[in-house]
Chains A and B, each alone.
Chain A
Amino acid sequence: MWENMRAIFEMFPEAVIAGAAIGSVCAMLGVFVILKRVVFIGIALSEVAACGIAAAIMCHIHPFLGATTLTLATVIVLSYPFENNRLPRDAVLGVVFVLASAASILIVAHSGFGLQDVKALLYGDLILASDADLSLILWIFIPVGVYLLTFLRPTLYTFLDRETARVLGLRVVLWELLYFFALGLAVSAASKVAGSLLVFCYLVVAPSTALLLSRKLWLVMIISTIAAVAATMGGLYVSFSRDLPTNQTIAATACVVLGGAVAISAIRRGLWFVLHVAQKR
């Protein structure tokens, strides 16, 4: 096992570091994605980023620039408080997802690439991460991680109770916009390297694991990060050992970790119930 792990570190150091960076920061951002009940935003933004990459390819500009521009524009639209509107935010996210998925293929349809080439261009594979990809990831993800940890309090209060937060003097629109900007940046940078499935997995599966295991926010964020990094390392190992596709193997490993958390949570509840009944008797 250690031989294989060492081989992975030696052969694909960029994939290991990029995976750990994307996993840990997306897992922390994802805690709020779940708590704010906007799970679909992860996959919708990934598709928007892919659409931006497609547009960038056709316009001969850097893919990250295309992905970021379109993702941040979408984020501005999505930060509108849809809770007060007749159309729920989830419905808007659904429309964004459909539009972006269709547009990303349509934009490059006449480019001369085959469908598989187009998919490879739009959705990355972690194992193929290059030096340039890694430096882009670190340039984006370190500031995003620092932002989230520094402004955790206003972000939490804004999402926890928007109305009271406003009364207390928080600029809720600004804090919401900042969070979604950070999310948009992270997703657009990660999508090209890790692909939409893996980004979505980090945003949803790892935080879900953590929320099952703890009821303290700081602990949830730590567990979420650990779960994402563990799934990345475990997935890379299995993928390397069994010659399986990397992104999908990491995603499946994350789900196995989640399964473990479900089991632990069920055992814990069972034990609590038994102890509670014994105490009553």
Chain B
Amino acid sequence: MTARTPNSEAIITCRNVSIAYGRQEVIHNASLDIPRGAFMPFVGPNGAGKTTLLRAILGLIRPRRGEIVTPFGTVRPGYVPQHGTIDPLYPVSLRQIIAMGLYPQLGWWRRAAKKLKRSVQEALDAFGLGDHADKTFSELSGGMKQKAMLARAFVSRAEVFIMDEPTSQLDEKSEKEVFAHLLRLSRDEGKTVLMAVHGMHEVLELPPQVCLVEHGRVRLAETSDVFAMAKGGR
């Protein structure tokens, strides 16, 4: 299955991918081509396998069968995990957490140049976190923590963004702003955006196709059909 976008060159390809936790197979024989510049929501009910599939695409889980081809060996994606994975015990500021997104550029030893420090400040400002830059993670609200994760993903100016329910802790206004920003990245800058969303209503401007994950089955579906199915009670 190949999603329709202006640029049809696939940046991520899944071929006959099956993923299992122990004996339980959670993704069955999924094949998917995601073109460069696609804006692709992964929709489906809780426990359908959206997170598992995204984690496999990121290389965090090895599929039991099949093959996933990504450019992430050389080009690192921007990633927003589902839950805050940062322990609030750590004495690190929000600025340091966001600077973590620059690791592919900085490596283990380079000091951040002025330009990179400016990008951290821009990422902070873009999410309204400028005044909280020196606070630690434990001092932030749930919504701010999620914005911090988004800012960390965006600071890298990656080609591909993979996000797992990136707005679950945000209020409606912030949610709209984040989706508008993601759409802009995809349309204007040709960035590829994959994100798991729980319900279709979360994404305000839906692309023509979405990736539907249901009971471990993965398929590209016309957005209008998915809406019709949802209305029909499925």
Hey, which bits of chain A sit against chain B, CB under 8 A? 34-35, 37, 150-151, 153-154, 156-157, 159-170, 211, 214-217, 219-220
Please tell me if the beta carbons of B103 and A217 are within 8 angstroms of each other in the complex. no
- Name the distance in Å between A32's Cβ and chain B's nearest Cβ: 10
A-contact 0/1 string along B119-155, CB 8 Å cutoff: 0000000000000000010000000000000001000
Nearest-CB residue, chain B, relative to A36 = B87
- In the complex, A163 Cα to B101 Cα: how many Å? 13
Residue count of chain B within 8 Å CB distance of chain A: 28
- CB-CB under 8 A from A160, the residues of chain B are 86-87, 90, 92, 97, 100
Residue B58 CB within 8 A of the other chain: yes
Check if A168 sits within 8 Å of B87, measured CB to CB: no
Asked whether, in the complex, the Cβ of A217 is within 8 Å of the Cβ of B91, the reply is yes
Cα of A211 to Cα of B88 in the assembled complex, Å: 12
Contacts of A157 in B (CB 8 A): 100, 103
Asked if A217 contacts B86 (CB within 8 A), the reply is: no
A156 to B92 Cα, complex, angstroms? 10
Contact at A161–B86, with CB atoms within 8 Å? Answer: yes
Contacts of A220 in B (CB 8 A): 91
Q: Is the CB of A167 within 8 A of B91?
A: no
**B60 lies within 8 A of chain A by Cβ:** yes
Main secondary structure of the interface of A (DSSP, over half): helix
Write the residues of chain B forming the contact surface with A, with a CB cutoff of 8 angstroms.
Answer: 58-60, 72, 76-77, 79, 81, 85-87, 89-93, 96-97, 100-101, 103-104, 106, 108-109, 136, 152, 156
Contacts of A166 in B (CB 8 A): 59-60
Q: List 21 A-B contacts (CB under 8 A).
A: A35-B91, A151-B108, A153-B109, A156-B90, A157-B103, A160-B86, A160-B97, A160-B100, A161-B85, A161-B100, A163-B81, A164-B79, A166-B60, A167-B59, A167-B76, A168-B76, A168-B100, A168-B103, A211-B89, A211-B91, A219-B91
Q: Which of A37, A150, A168 has the most CB of B within 10 A?
A: A168
Q: In the complex the two chains form, what is the Cα distance from A34 to B92 in whole Å?
A: 14
A170 and B107 alpha carbons, distance in the complex (Å): 9
Taking the closest CB of chain A, its distance from the CB of B123, in whole angstroms, is 15
- Contacts of B87 on A, CB cut-off 8 Å? 35, 37, 160
| B225 CB, min distance to chain A CBs, angstroms | 32
Residue of A150, A164, A214, A220 contacting most chain B CB atoms (<10 Å): A164
User: When the two chains form their complex, are residues B77 and A35 in contact, meaning their CB atoms are under 8 A apart?
Assistant: no
Contact (Cβ within 8 A) B91 A169: no
Which residue of B60, B86, B89 contacts A167 across the interface (Cβ within 8 Å)? Answer: B60
Knowing A35-B89, A211-B91, A216-B91, say if A169 contacts B76 (CB, 8 Å).
yes
The CA of A50 and the CA of B152, in the complex, are separated in Å by: 44
> How many Å from the CB of B93 to the closest CB on chain A?
7
Known pairs A162-B85, A168-B103, A169-B103 / 20 extra A-B pairs, C-beta < 8 Å: A35-B91, A153-B106, A153-B109, A154-B108, A156-B90, A156-B92, A157-B103, A160-B87, A160-B100, A163-B85, A164-B85, A166-B59, A166-B60, A167-B59, A167-B60, A167-B72, A168-B100, A214-B91, A215-B93, A217-B96
How long is the Cα–Cα vector from A215 to B95 in the complex, in angstroms?
Answer: 13
**How far is B128's CA from A23's CA once the two chains are assembled, in angstroms?**
42
Tell me if A167 and B77 are in contact (CB < 8 A). Answer: yes
Complex CA gap A162/B205 in Å reads 33
Which residues of chain A have C-beta atoms less than 8 A from B77's C-beta? 167
Q: From A156, which residue of chain B is reached at the shortest CB distance? A: B92
- Complex CA–CA separation, A211 to B91 (angstroms): 8
Cα(A160)–Cα(B85), bound, Å = 8
Residue among A37, A159, A167, A220 with the most chain B CB within 10 A? A167
